[in-house]
Structure 1
Amino acid sequence: MKMIEHYLKLGTEFSSEAVAISIQEVAGILCCTPRNAKLILSKLENLQWIMEKRGW
């Protein structure tokens, strides 16, 4: 999947407000491994499409 597809898939699951979610939940939504989910989140954050806050 391309980054826009990952972003849209996550966007359909959540509103535009901040939510607490685990890497395992993200991996389940994106149908990937937790390791790949971390890489995807990192790329989306670098594109400034999401803002990730760790340790809520």
Structure 2
Amino acid sequence: MSDKLAGKAKEVEGKLTGDKAREAQGKAEGLLGKAKEKINDVKEDVIRVVLVKSF
């Protein structure tokens, strides 16, 4: 969640200051945060499936 939040903060900062590079950096970090969340969700799902099948 921290990557997503930090990315959003940088994106907003870039928009407010007119810094397109900072805005783009923020968007990229936000996307990275979303990707990490999805990967973690899949990881948790796999662990649940493995645990259910092992019992």
> Which category describes the TM-score, using the shorter chain as reference length?
0.3 to 0.5
User: Which structure's CA Rg is the greater one?
Assistant: 2
Query: So what's the TM-score if we normalise by structure 2?
Result: 0.36
TM-score by length of structure 1 reads 0.35
* Structure in which a larger fraction of residues adopt helix: 2
